Amino acid sequence: MFLVFEFKWLAYGVIIVSALTIYYFKKVRKEHNSRLRKEEELAAGLIEPPSLHPVIDPNKCLGCAACIKACPEKNVLGVIGGKAELIAPTHCIGHGACQKSCPLDAIELVFGTEKRGIDIPFVQKNFETNVSGVFIAGELGGMGLIRNAIEQGKQAIQFIMERKTPANTSHNGSDILDIIIIGAGPSGFSASLAAMEKKVSFVTLEQETFGGTVAHYPRGKVVMTQPVNLPIFGKVKMYETTKEKLLDFWNDVREKTGLEIQYGERVVKIEPSNDLFCVQTEKSQYRAKNILLAIGRRGTPRKLNVPGEDLDKVVYRLIDPEQYAEQHVLVVGGGDSALEAAVSISEVEGTTVSLSYRSAAFGRAKQKNRDMVEAQIQAGRLNVMLSSNVSSISPDEILLEREGNPITLRNDVVIVCAGGILPTAFLKDIGINIETKHGVA
C-alpha cells in the first residue's frame, strides 16, 4: 500500500515537473524569437512608430504577456528579460488594446518619440479644441483606426450636447444649426448618426465622397475593424473586410436611417460671429453653435516639389489598378498605401511597375505588405529602388537619383503615396493650436 501511495505521488511529481519544463522551454523559445525580431527591426532601421504607440513601465510590468495576446497586429510586442517590450515599433498602428489588457496599468499610449515628433491639434478629453465650440474627432486628432474614429465621433456629439453655454440656450433662428459636422469619413458618419439620434439640428459637409479616407483606399484593400455600436443602427460585428464591402454596409445604413450628406462642399473658411460660427463653403454658407471637424490628415497630399509634377500623369492615390494595364508606372513612397498600390498594379497583366522610396528600408509598412513586395520582386513583376529620390518628371520619362547616380525610366504614370500634410494653415486660421508631440501621452 505504501509503495502504491509513493508511486502515485512520484507520478504526480513527474507530471508537474514535465509541465513546468515544457512551460519553461516555451517561454525561453518565445523570448528568443522576440529578441531576434527586435534585432532584425533594429538592423533594418525600423525603430520609429508611425503614430500612437505604447510605452511600457518596466517597474510595473510583470511580464504576464496579456498585452501581447491582446494586440490584433501580432508580433508587435514581446517579453524580453521578464518585461514586455515594443519589439516591432513600425508595425504598431495604435489599437490601444495592449493598454486596456494590462492588469497593472504599466502601459501608456503616446504620440511621437524623442526623435520623431508628430503634429497634433490641441484637443481636450472632451474633444474640444482651445477654441470654445470647435471640436475634433477621428484621424485629424491622431486616431486613424476606423473603430476609434467611429467611437470618437459618437462621443464628441455627446460632449457637444453637454456643453452649457449661451450658444446652446439662445439663437433660435431657423437658419442656425446646433452642429456643423465637417467630413463624412468614419468619425463624421458616426457623429451624424448620433446627431440624428439626439434629434438636434445639424448638417454634414463633405468635400469629396462618402467614406472619407476609406473611400480612397485601393480597390479590394482589406481593412480591419472591430465590433462597434453605431448610433441608431446598433451593434456591428466586423473584423476583416474589403473596402468595398465596408462602404456598401455604411451606404446601406445611411439609406435606412435617411442620413443626408452635402457632397462637394469644401469648407474654405470658418469664422466666429458672436456666440456662433459662420462656415463658408465653395457653394454655400452656414451658421451654427458648434463645429465638429471630422476631416482626415490627408486632405492635402504631400508633394515631391520637383519639375514636371504638375503634369496630368501625376496622381496622389490609387483607385483602380486595372486602369494602368500595359503602362509603365512609378509608385513613390514607403508606407502601406505605396506598397499596396505597387503590388496591386504589378498584378495587372502587361504593366511595368517600379517602386521608389527615399529610405533604405520600408520602415512604415506592415510586414505582410513587405512580404507581398518581396514576392513580386522574386516573381520579376516589381522593380524596387530603395534610397532613391525623384529628380524630375517629363511626359515620357522620369529621372531619379540613387546614391549619387542618375536613373532614367520610361514612364506613363506617377503615383505619389507620400501621405498628407496636416491642414495646419486651415486650423490656425480658425485659431486652433498645433502641438508637436515627442512621446506625450
257-314 pLDDT, tens per residue? 999 999 888 899 999 888 899 999 988 999 999 999 998 776 567 889 999 999 999 9
pLDDT of res. 169: 45
Rounded to whole angstroms, the Cα distance separating 66 from 103 reads 8
C-alpha cell belonging to residue 294: 471630422
Do 2-110 and 304-418 fold alike per CATH?
no
C-alpha cell belonging to residue 291: 463645429
Q: How far is CA 99 from the centre of its chain?
A: 18
Q: Is the pLDDT of residue 166 over 60?
A: no
For the domain covering 2-110, report its CATH number: 3.30.70.20
Rounded to whole angstroms, the Cα distance separating 307 from 88 reads 37
- 304-418: what fold? FAD/NAD(P)-binding domain (3.50.50)
Give the mean pLDDT of 403-418. 93
More confident residue, 112 or 288: 288
Rounded to whole angstroms, the Cα distance separating 186 from 152 reads 9
pLDDT of res. 143: 66
pLDDT of res. 279: 93
Beta strand pairing status for 53-56 and 107-110?
antiparallel
- State if pTM tops 0.95: no
pLDDT band at residue 207 under the 50/70/90 scheme: confident
**Contacts of 300 by beta carbon, 8 Å cutoff, 6+ apart:** 420, 421, 423
Q: Is the pLDDT of residue 405 over 80?
A: yes
Q: Is the pLDDT of residue 159 over 90?
A: yes
Please report how the helices 186-197 and 146-162 are oriented relative to each other, as an axis angle in degrees rounded to 10.
40
Top-level CATH class of 119-300+422-437?
alpha beta
Domain boundaries along the sequence of the chain: 2-110, 119-300+422-437, 304-418
Share of residues in the chain with pLDDT > 90 (%) = 39
Give the mean pLDDT of 371-399. 94
Give the mean pLDDT of 143-158. 85
Give the mean pLDDT of 197-205. 94
pLDDT band at residue 232 under the 50/70/90 scheme: confident
316-338 pLDDT, tens per residue? 888 788 899 999 999 999 988 89
Average confidence score pLDDT of the chain: 84
Rounded to whole angstroms, the Cα distance separating 81 from 103 reads 19
Give the mean pLDDT of 365-381. 89
56-88 pLDDT, tens per residue? 999 999 889 899 888 877 788 888 888 988 888
Query: Is 205 in contact with 299 (CB distance < 8 Å)?
Result: no
C-alpha cell belonging to residue 327: 503602362
Instruction: Specify which of 69-73, 145-149, 432-436 reaches the highest per-range mean pLDDT.
Output: 432-436
List Cβ<8 Å contacts ≥24 apart for 36-39.
37/75, 37/78, 37/87, 37/88, 38/78, 38/80, 38/85, 38/87, 38/88
Give the mean pLDDT of 151-177. 75
Give the closest residue to 386 by CA, choosing from 40, 48, 46.
46
6-55 pLDDT, tens per residue? 666 677 777 787 777 777 777 778 888 888 888 877 776 667 777 788 89
Q: Is the pLDDT of residue 202 over 90?
A: yes
